Structure 1
Amino acid sequence: MKLWLVAVGQRLPAWAETAYEDYAKRFPPELRLQLKAVKAEPRGGSSAERLMAAEAQRIEAALPRGVRRIALDGRDAALLIGGPDGLDPALKAGADERLRLSDLTLPHAFARVLLAEGLYRAWTVVTGHPYHRE
């Protein structure tokens, strides 16, 4: 099963690339996190069966529940991070879930790192790994 992080923007600062890759490589083989960077232009759907728009619940509570549901149903999932104008309303309407990363406006590079760490933390909570206690 794969978790796709679909994010607008193709060029990241070196610090963000390094931080994102550090979290992405920590995932186990049965739950890979893969990045799909897209240009800032209108896009339609996703090839994943479950869409999660990174924007309405608190992420600390929502992600472990989401990771648990994803693991139980076995479908790939795509988490979408919008561009400067946010996500297309049709994508938001079609999302299975919405997540809120912050009340702050975040740089796209930071949002990717934050979401990768949050997903990893959620996986550790679900599996009983001690990372979330460090």
Structure 2
Amino acid sequence: MKITFITVGKTEDAYLKDGIDKYVKRLKHYTKLELIDLTELKNTKALTEEQQKAKEAELILKKVNATDHLILLDEAGQEFTSVQFANYLNKRAVSSSANLVFVVGGPYGFDGSVYQRANDKLSLSRMTFSHQMVRLFFVEQLYRAYTIIKGEPYHHQ
């Protein structure tokens, strides 16, 4: 199973980049992971929030294939414990999902077209985090899930 992680914009803070790189390297032992940073929209002051979400949706949906299982990281999504998330990933792998695509949207969330295409929505927390921090939190949780699946000692319960 391949995992694709799509984000709008780039991670700029060095300490976050370092953390993301650390977990991406660790994940190579467990899964094929592709990170896609979509270019942040320019000159958005002339656009309404809805127009901005629609333009971001075009960029996101161009990267998603018809057979991909699309999961939105969304504040209204389902919340999991780390063990539940590991079970979710494991079930997706067993059900022959060839490619799981996780997406972090832009500053205003997702356009309706992205919600319509999505297979699932997942919330990392009820709290709001910066988009840059979400990237680090997600790859760490992905790594944690794989160590849980493999029965390795990273996660303590």
When the two structures are superposed, what TM-score results if normalisation uses the length of structure 1? Answer: 0.88
Which residue number in structure 1 is paired with residue 72 of structure 2? 53
Which residue number in structure 2 is paired with residue 65 of structure 1? 87
Which residue number in structure 2 is paired with residue 42 of structure 1? 56
The structure that has the greater radius of gyration is 2
Instruction: Give the percent of matched residue pairs that are identical in Structure 1 and Structure 2.
Output: 26
SS in 1 for 2:73: strand
Aligned AA (2:137): L
Check if 1:20 corresponds to 2:41.
no
Aligned AA (1:66): Y
Per-residue Cα deviation, 1:8-57 (whole angstroms, up to 9, x for no partner): 11242111111011111111445122210012342332136111111211
Aligned AA (2:57): R
Q: Measured at CA, do residues 79 and 62 of structure 1 come closer, stay the same or move farther in structure 2, by a change above 3 Å? A: farther
Equivalent residues of 1:62, 1:99 under 8 A apart: no
Q: Structure 2: 5+ residue runs without aligned partners? A: 41-54
- The Cα RMSD (Å) is 2.0
Alpha-carbon distance in structure 1 between the residues aligned to 2:84 and 2:112: 21
Equivalent residues of 2:57, 2:110 under 8 A apart: no
Which residue number in structure 1 is paired with residue 143 of structure 2? 120
Which residue number in structure 1 is paired with residue 122 of structure 2? 99
Q: Structure 1: 5+ residue runs without aligned partners? A: none
Alpha-carbon distance in structure 2 between the residues aligned to 1:125 and 1:99: 19
Alpha-carbon distance in structure 1 between the residues aligned to 2:7 and 2:85: 18
